[in-house]
Amino acid sequence: MPSQPNMRTSGSLRVAVVGAGIVGLSTALEIRARGAEVAVYDSGVELGAGATMRAAGMLGAAFDWALEADQRAMAALARHAGMLWPDFAARIERLAGAGLEFSKEGALVVARSEEEASWLGTLAAACQARNLPVQRLSADEVRRADPALSGNLVGGLMLPEDRQVDAQIALQRLGAALSRSGVGLRLGRKVERIVGGQVFLMPDGEKFDRVVLATGAGALPAFVGPRGAPLEHGLVATVPVKGQILALAPVDGGPRHVTHTRDVYIAPKSRWVLIGATSERGRADTTVDPDKIAALRARASEIAPSLANAPEVTAWAGIRPGTPDDAPMIGQTAIPGVFAALGHYRNGVLFAPATAELVADQVIDGKVSPLAAAFDPLRFDKLSEAPHSPAQEN
C-alpha cells in the first residue's frame, strides 16, 4: 500500500469526503466518531442529488448474494453490512433525534410456478450453506404472513435478516446526525481539482490530510501536485447502470413485507409502495420509460392484486455506479492519503455501514482487513503487484 503523506493522531487529522450520498455520509460519520475533523463536499446544493435518493432501500444480504457462489467476498461484505445495520440505524436515529423507517420484519420470496419453486429450493439451500436464516413457507403460509399476496403462488421463503429502510429519509437523517456531530456539510461546492502534496488543497482553499472519494456515478476530481503535474489515482471509471422504479400510493390491504420474485420486487414504505427495478447497463440517462414502468406494475400485481389499481405517485430512474466486476472499490488509491469508497452498484444502501468501517480503518489506523483487501481499488490495474478479483476470495 502506498505510504501516507504524513502521520498524525486521529484527533488532529483532517479528512475531506467528496460525495454526499449514503456511502460518503456514512463514512464521514464513522471517521468523525474516531476523532478526526471531517468535512463533506458535494456539488448538489442539498442532499439527494445522486443514487441514494433513487434507491429502494432494501437490505438484502441473503436474497442478493446467497446464490452468488463465485462472489464469496461480496456475500461476506453483504452479511457483515446486514449485521451492522440495526445498530447503525439506532445510532443515526439517536444523533438525528428522529427515525429513519428501518424495518426489521424480514423479506419474503415467492414462487408462482414449479420452476420457480425449484429455484426457491436452491436459494434456501444456498442460505443454509452460508448460515443465513431462512424459513420455507407453503403458499398458505405465505398468505398468512402477508394477506396481500393473494396471487397464484405455489410457495415461498422468509428471509428474517433481509430488511429495508427508507433511503431518502435515511440520507436526510444522516445529514442531521453529521451536523450534530460537528461534520461540515459543504454543499453546492463542486470539486473538480485537488492539489496534493503533504496536505490536500481543496478548491475553497481548505487543507486536509486525507481525502475519501465517494462520488457514486459522478466524475472523479483530478489530482495535481504542488507544481501542477498530474497525479494518477489508478482508479477505473465507474460503469453507469440505469434503474427505473415505480412508486404507488399505499392501499388498504396492500403488501406489508418486502417481497421478491425472480423478476420484480415490492418494497412497501409508510408513504408509498416501491416496485422495481430495471437494470440497464451502460445507460446514463434518467428518462422514465412508460412501457417498462407498466411492466413492473403488471408483474407486481400478479402476486399482489391490490396494486393493479393503486394510484401512481411517481416514477423515476437512477444511475447506479457499477464496476467491471460489479464489486465496490474500497481503500487506498495510488495516491498516498487518497481513499476510494466507490462502485457500490445496487447495494450502496446495504453496504454503507460496512464500507464506512473499512475505510475508517485505513484512514485512521492504516489497517487493511482481509475483507477490505478483497475490494482493493487497484485490482483492475494490470500493472499492480498483486491484482485480484473479489470473486476469487474465500
Q: What is the pLDDT of residue 381?
A: 78
Task: Flag whether pLDDT at 321 surpasses 50.
Answer: yes
Q: What is the pLDDT of residue 150?
A: 86
Mean pLDDT of 222-234: 96
Measured CA to CA, the distance from residue 36 to residue 264 in angstroms comes to 42
Mean pLDDT of 48-52: 81
- CATH number of this structure's domain 107-160+239-322, picked from the four choices 3.30.360.10, 3.40.50.970, 1.10.1450.10, 3.30.9.10: 3.30.9.10
Task: Flag whether pLDDT at 62 surpasses 70.
Answer: yes
Task: Flag whether pLDDT at 120 surpasses 90.
Answer: yes
Q: What is the pLDDT of residue 385?
A: 44
Q: State the chain's mean pLDDT as an integer.
A: 92
Q: Domain coordinates of the chain in residue numbers?
A: 14-53+168-237+325-392, 107-160+239-322
Please write the tens of the pLDDT for every residue from 259-303. 999 999 999 999 999 999 999 999 999 999 999 999 999 999 999
Distances (CA, A) of 176 to 15, 114, 166, 292, 351: 19, 48, 16, 36, 20
Q: What is the pLDDT of residue 8?
A: 53
Residue of 335, 334, 287 whose CA lies nearest to 315: 287
Cα-Cα-Cα-Cα dihedral sign, residues 377, 379, 382, 386: positive
Please write the tens of the pLDDT for every residue from 65-88. 888 777 889 999 999 999 999 999
Please write the tens of the pLDDT for every residue from 23-36. 999 999 999 999 99
Measured CA to CA, the distance from residue 256 to residue 312 in angstroms comes to 18
Q: What is the pLDDT of residue 218?
A: 86
Measured CA to CA, the distance from residue 309 to residue 113 in angstroms comes to 24
Q: Looking at the DSSP assignment, which residues form a beta bridge with residue 248? A: 273, 312
Q: What is the pLDDT of residue 389?
A: 34
Task: Flag whether pLDDT at 359 surpasses 60.
Answer: yes
Task: Flag whether pLDDT at 19 surpasses 70.
Answer: yes
Measured CA to CA, the distance from residue 241 to residue 64 in angstroms comes to 17
* Of 67-71, 137-141, 161-165, 259-263, minimum mean pLDDT range: 67-71
Q: What is the pLDDT of residue 10?
A: 57
The model carries a pTM of: 0.92
Q: What is the pLDDT of residue 9?
A: 54
How large a percentage of the chain has pLDDT more than 90? Answer: 85
Q: What is the pLDDT of residue 38?
A: 98
Say which CATH superfamily domain 14-53+168-237+325-392 falls into: FAD/NAD(P)-binding domain (3.50.50.60)
Measured CA to CA, the distance from residue 341 to residue 328 in angstroms comes to 7
Task: Flag whether pLDDT at 56 surpasses 50.
Answer: yes
The owner of cell 412501457 is 291
Q: What is the pLDDT of residue 48?
A: 77
H helix intervals, the chain: 22-33, 61-65, 72-96, 114-129, 139-145, 167-180, 290-303, 348-365, 370-373
Q: What is the pLDDT of residue 151?
A: 78
Q: What is the pLDDT of residue 29?
A: 98
* Of 48-57, 88-97, 114-123, minimum mean pLDDT range: 48-57
Task: Flag whether pLDDT at 51 surpasses 90.
Answer: no
Task: Flag whether pLDDT at 6 surpasses 60.
Answer: no
- Tell me whether residue 187 is exposed, middle or buried, using C-beta atoms within 10 angstroms of its C-beta: 0 to 12, 13 to 18, 19 or more: middle
CB atoms within 10 A of CB 161: 20
Task: Flag whether pLDDT at 3 surpasses 50.
Answer: no
